[in-house]
Amino acid sequence: MVTLRGIPSIISPDLLYALAKMGHGDEIGLKIPELLKAILKLFPLDTYVSFPAAVMALVHEDEVKGLQTPVWDKYMELLSSVGFEKKLEVVERFKFYERAKNSFAVVATGETALYGNLILRKGVIPAGENGD
């Protein structure tokens, strides 16, 4: 339970610690819109890379079937609300797994949306923006 003001209750102490310890360019894997919304209140996205947010590409069979990924639209809506103006990077399945494995942290959330995994790359907080 988080007992600090301004910290969304969905952010556990361990997750808050991981977010604070991450450096510029570190990545975190997560899987849920509500958590993404809360994290984006605390976490700047990297503006120095082409894609600071990545999802896993559909496997061939799902692409052939025309499988839809509405959770990606929700992610884009939430990312847009904090000024993110780029598309999501779509990463081949096994490259995504490797990237997630090498992330600073992976958050297990119980998300059930197909292709709901998401990787974020942390940026820097501009001088003066955090009250210093």
Residues marked active site are found at 24, 46, 97
Locate 2 and state its tokens: 């988080």
Locate 90 and state its tokens: 């779509």
Name 118's bridge partners.
30
Decide if 16 contacts 2 (C-beta within 8 A). yes
DSSP structural state of residue 93: H
DSSP structural state of residue 122: B
